[in-house]
Structure 1
Amino acid sequence: MSSDDPPYLMALPDPVGAGKQKFQLCMSELLQLVRVHLPGRMAGAGPSEREQRIALRKALGYLDSDYLIDLPEPFFGALLRAAVYDPDPSFNRQFVEPLRVAFGARRTQEALLEVLRTGTNQERAGAARAWYWATLEMVEDIQVRWDQAALREFVVNEDIDVRRCLLPQLPLHPSHYPGELHPLVAEAVHIGRTHPDEYLRHRVELQVRTGI
């Protein structure tokens, strides 16, 4: 590829450990909450994952804030878990958006940051996948803390899913960080460039080249 060629994005690979069973438990938990608290909106929840997603999307008023004002507190944890355990970085939006609109961007982002800091590797990767949709309404001080925590996690955590999910939103210019973290930026770039994983090598070169 020459320097004049347009950049292309390699798709984020599927998780190595998808944890499908845990995600199904999250779906069941949400469906039960809807049946209890929003029974008038529950329809069409068949046995397949696709049917359940569609039913939850309608019941939660996905992207329709009028539906989300009065979601009771039990929905916060259930939506957070579903957003984290959903292996699909596009479909997880249907859990992150209701979470953010109903309970606020700050609370949502603080919760995902806590998962990044203290969760299992599967949960850390899921929090990174959910972060994109959670920051459509950015909270600047939390974004700073996320970027610094994500940089540290990328460098020290060798789990491939964690690194793959963190990298696309990880700033790789030293000026983005305080001076004491500049060596970690260089180390993160080195890890990406020399890693055996094709996605990490592709993505880090793209980000260094384009600044995205």
Structure 2
Amino acid sequence: MSEDVQDLLDGLIQQLCPDWSCEFPGPLAPDHERFELIAAKRMQVARVLRRRPDRAAALSEQVLATIVADEDSSCNRQLVAPLVTAIGRSAVLAGLLSYARSGSPAQQAGAARGWYWAQPTLVYPTRADLDNRRPTAASQAEWDEMADLCRAFRIACLTAFLATDDVRARADLAMRFTLNPEDYPPELAAEVDEARSIAAGDPQRYRRLLTDTTEAGLSQLGARPLRPVLPDP
């Protein structure tokens, strides 16, 4: 069974900032309480990890477990970014790949959500460079360096998609692989066809998978920050 993200955040808080307490100006609505508590705890943990990359590195396995347990596909980046800074992008991607290969369906889906923010970013200096797909040499080099991990993750997500009947997990996993046979070794042709058949049976849910030839990626135009910086209090 997958661990609860709030329990994992509580464990990190005990090790990073045991004197911190979560306070709100007024009572929380019952249907919003869990969401608000998780958001506050996530932000506090992220602040400490940003300030203390040594602690982020020492607790990297716990941070990674928290990332894959986090169901918020936007705010999970608050933990992904400091972990990438602390231990390096390839180590984070390798950890997410391990979850995609051997985790529970919920953890596999969480790895797919986390991968979006951990993957390398292609940077384009100008709009013309973006239109003509001319990224900077440095960002292209990092992209190329991670290519094997990205291919392995694509295959892991395809495999996990076929192995589960969990519709929510499948929806997240479907963002991280394609149905392009050229993206896979020939021996996986039957698996690609099976995934296509599943997607065709629910075309609204899997519209991106059926129409796009690449999985969702990240790009950056010029010096504009791709991800908002988490403010200090």
- Normalized against structure 1, the TM-score is what? 0.74
Partner of 2:226: none
Q: Determine whether 1:34 maps to 2:4.
A: no
Q: Determine whether 1:97 maps to 2:81.
A: yes
For 1:207, give the aligned amino acid.
D
Change in CA separation of 1:109 and 1:211 when aligned onto 2, cut-off 3 Å: closer
CA distance in 2: counterparts of 1:114 and 1:54, whole angstroms: 25
CA distance in 2: counterparts of 1:157 and 1:50, whole angstroms: 29
1:109 to 93, 98, 112: 93
For 1:177, give the aligned amino acid.
Y
1:173 to 175, 180, 185: 180
2:205 to 186, 199, 206: 199
Tell me the SS of whatever aligns to 2:40.
helix
For 1:94, give the aligned amino acid.
Q
Return 46-55 or 157-166, whichever deviates more.
46-55
Q: Indicate conservation of the 8 Å contact 2:155/2:177, yes or no.
A: no
Greater share of helix residues, 1 or 2?
1
Q: Indicate conservation of the 8 Å contact 1:68/1:101, yes or no.
A: no
Q: Indicate conservation of the 8 Å contact 1:26/1:82, yes or no.
A: yes
Q: Determine whether 1:60 maps to 2:49.
A: yes
Q: Indicate conservation of the 8 Å contact 2:56/2:86, yes or no.
A: no
CA shift for structure 1 position 153? 1.9
Q: Indicate conservation of the 8 Å contact 1:44/1:51, yes or no.
A: no
Partner of 1:22: 4
Q: Indicate conservation of the 8 Å contact 1:45/1:52, yes or no.
A: yes
Tell me the SS of whatever aligns to 1:30.
helix
2:196 to 185, 189, 200: 189
CA shift for structure 1 position 211? 8.0
Could you list the per-position Cα deviations for residues 95-152 of structure 1 after superposition, in whole angstroms to 9, with x for gaps in the alignment?
Answer: 1111111011121111111111111111111111111112136411111111112222
CA distance in 2: counterparts of 1:49 and 1:157, whole angstroms: 27
Could you list the per-position Cα deviations for residues 31-69 of structure 1 after superposition, in whole angstroms to 9, with x for gaps in the alignment?
Answer: 122126xxxxx86743733332332232222xxxxx354
Q: Which runs of 5+ in 2 are unaligned?
A: 25-36, 122-142, 217-233
Q: Indicate conservation of the 8 Å contact 1:45/1:54, yes or no.
A: no
Q: Which runs of 5+ in 1 are unaligned?
A: 1-16, 37-41, 62-66
- Normalized against structure 2, the TM-score is what? 0.68
Partner of 2:60: 76
CA distance in 1: counterparts of 2:61 and 2:74, whole angstroms: 20
CA distance in 1: counterparts of 2:181 and 2:175, whole angstroms: 16
CA shift for structure 1 position 72? 5.5
For 1:171, give the aligned amino acid.
T
CA distance in 1: counterparts of 2:52 and 2:95, whole angstroms: 19
1:87 to 48, 66, 71: 71
For 1:90, give the aligned amino acid.
S
Partner of 1:152: 159
Partner of 2:222: none
Q: Determine whether 1:142 maps to 2:149.
A: yes
CA distance in 2: counterparts of 1:142 and 1:204, whole angstroms: 20
Q: Indicate conservation of the 8 Å contact 2:177/2:215, yes or no.
A: no
CA distance in 2: counterparts of 1:211 and 1:26, whole angstroms: 29
